[in-house]
Every structure is written in structure tokens, then in C-alpha cells.
A and B are shown apart, each in its own frame.
Chain A
Amino acid sequence: MNASAFAAGAALFLAGLAVHVVAWRVRRPRHQALGLLAYFMLPWAAFCVWARARGAGWTPFELAAAGLLDFSLTCAYVQTYPAFQGFSPSFVVVLLLARAPGGLTREELLASVDEGVMLTGRLQDMVDSRLIAERDGLLELTPSGRALVSFFVWMRRVMGLPLGTG
């Protein structure tokens, strides 16, 4: 293990971040999670092709190490991303309370929240991501949505926990 794999992994992540910012400002992809993974891992793939073609002295192990670091940082970013995109309801609650010096009752807080953004927007985002589908006014799981939720149901069972409350 050496410094170059470490530095390359970090630099490739930063390159992916730059590509992501530019791409998002120009046109956000419809399926944002997959788009993020693609944009972030693209610099690594290009780097591998360049390093092998040029015979630049990078061993397959060093390229894999750089890729794993890049991938780990990317996954951490992707996990945080919904908070930038869909806005976390927990932050909404805290920020609404912070803006009310006299505090808010439960009902006042509820009245301050926009249902269109909190629920309708999220449902539409999930339709766009093809996790759920809407046919004849009915919402249903798509095969990928069913696979995703099955994983979480399995995870909760393995932990011996009931389903989460959202």
C-alpha cells in the first residue's frame, strides 16, 4: 500500500464531484442515484483506461485500491445526497422552529409544512426513479421498488425489528 493509490482515489472523487456539479447545473438526469454513481465513477474508469494504455506504472492492485476509495467516498456522498435534493423533513422541522422565537404548537407546525413538497413531490420523485408506478390513478411498486423494499424488510427481520415508522 502506498500514497499514490490513496491520493489517486481522493483526486478521482474530487474530479467526479466537479463533473457532478457541472452536469447537475446543466441538466439533472431523470434517475439521479444512478446518474450520480455513473458521473462519480466515470473519472476512475477513464483513469484505468489511460493508465493501462500509457503503461504509466500503475498496477491492477493500485487501480483497484484507488477505485475502492473513490467508490467508498462516492457511496457516502450518494447516501447524503437526498438531503440536498428532497430536503430532509427533520431539518424542515428544526428550521421552522428556529424561525419562530415564540415556538410552535404541533398544529401550527403542521400548518407551516407544504404537503405538496413533502409528500407529493417525493411520490413523483419515486415515480421518476421507477421505484413506484402510477396506472389509472393507482400507485403500485415496480419490480425494482419491490426488490428494494424486500431488502429493507429482510434487514429489519434479521435485526429482529418491526418495520420503520418513516
Chain B
Amino acid sequence: MSETAAATAFLLILAASPVAVLVLHALLSRVLRRLAPGVPTRLVPVLAVAAGAPGLALLVPRLFPPGAEHARAWAAAYGLVVYACLSYCYFHLFSMSESARRIRILYVLFEGGRIPRAEFSSRYGVKDMVFNRLDRLETIGQVERRDGRYFAKGGSVGLIGKVLIGWGKVLGFQPGSMPL
């Protein structure tokens, strides 16, 4: 195989990698729900991405033969970045199906048909949004409960939140319009 043909095949495989991750994820999800139901749902796509990485790593020396060390090194670095970015997107896509407000709003309308705006909050309101997240944050250790009161813990989510607020300001979003 010529170097151009190998590189083209490599690009096509990388571009299709989210589909491979989806298939691995579906298999793992169904197997783990039967064999190990305690595994957190959000960990499964991470395991699927990790399972796909060795396949991609093995592909580089097959497509770029010995003697093309320079091309091989760049292909490995390039593949790593593209696979990581597309996997990050896939993980977010799955997380959206799990916990995004927008998708939950769409689910409510998908199941309920046409709904008066005034009634919408009785199907999915701020109470659901806040309490679902509070419980999830407690599960992952970002929040702790003592005597019925909740406290921020850890700090990584809070730190990321500050970075997001900072970038939002760069883009011209007004912190005053945020719910704080």
C-alpha cells in the first residue's frame, strides 16, 4: 500500500471511529447491565473508548511500514488527538442523552405531544433539575451531606465552573444573566 493510500485509509478509519465506539459501547452496556449492574452508566462509554484505543494504536504500524518512522510518529500523534477529540464528543453526546436539560425537554415533548407552556414545569421543573444534579454530585463526591445540609467538596467541578464563567465573559455573556 502506498503511503498516500495508507494515510487516506487512516483518515477514514479515524473519521469513522465514533461509530466503532458506539458499537463497543452498546455491547459493553448490554453485557455489564447483566453481569455487573453496579457499574455507573457514565463509566461505560469511557471503557468503550479505552477498548477502541489499542485497535487504533495497532493500526499505525500496519498502515505505515518500517522505514517511514517520521510519518508513523506524526500519524500516531495525529491519531491520538483526533481520536481523543471525537471520543470526547461521543462521551458528551451520550451524557446529553443521560442528563442534558435540552434533551430532557425534548423527551417531555416527544412523550407528551403539545404541552401548554404554563404546565411544562409540572412535567420537568427546576426542582427536578436541581435535585437530580444534587444527587448525582453527591454520588461522584463533589458534594457531601451532613445533618441534612449540603456542602461543596473536592473542588474540581467548582474550578471548572469558574473557567467556564471566565470564557463566557470573553464571549460577551453577562454573568448577571446567569442564575447566581
Point out residues on A near B: beta carbons under 8 Å.
1-3, 5-6, 20-21, 24-25, 28, 59, 61, 64-65, 68-69, 72-73, 75-76, 79-80, 82-98, 102-106, 109-110, 113-115, 117-119, 121-123, 126, 131-132, 134, 137-141, 145-146, 148-150, 152-153, 155-156, 158-161, 163-166
Contacts and interface: CB of A to CB of B under 8 A. Distances in A.
B62 interface: no
B143 A160 contact: no
Interface in B128-148: 128-134, 136-137, 142-143, 146, 148
B109 A110 contact: no
A138 B113 CA distance: 10
A114 B177 CA distance: 10
B98 to A, nearest CB: 4
For the side of the interface on B, what is the size category?
35 or more
B106 interface: yes
A64 B85 CA distance: 17
12 contacts: A2-B70, A6-B81, A69-B78, A87-B178, A93-B133, A115-B125, A119-B121, A126-B105, A126-B106, A164-B98, A164-B107, A166-B129
A91 B30 contact: no
Given A83-B164, A155-B97, 13 more contacts: A65-B11, A68-B15, A69-B82, A93-B130, A102-B149, A110-B127, A119-B125, A131-B106, A137-B116, A140-B114, A152-B106, A155-B94, A165-B128
The SS class assigned to the A binding surface is helix
B56 interface: no
Contacts, number: 261
B40 to A, nearest CB: 12
A87 B131 contact: no
Secondary structure class of chain B's binding surface, majority of residues: helix
Contact of B89 (A59, A79, A94, A159): A79
Nearest to A92: B179
Contact of A132 (B109, B118, B157, B160): B109
Nearest to A145: B106
Contacts of A75: 85-86, 89
Please list the 8 inter-chain residue pairs (A to B) with the smallest Cβ-Cβ separation, ordered nearest first: A166-B104, A103-B149, A91-B161, A72-B85, A149-B106, A79-B92, A97-B152, A98-B152
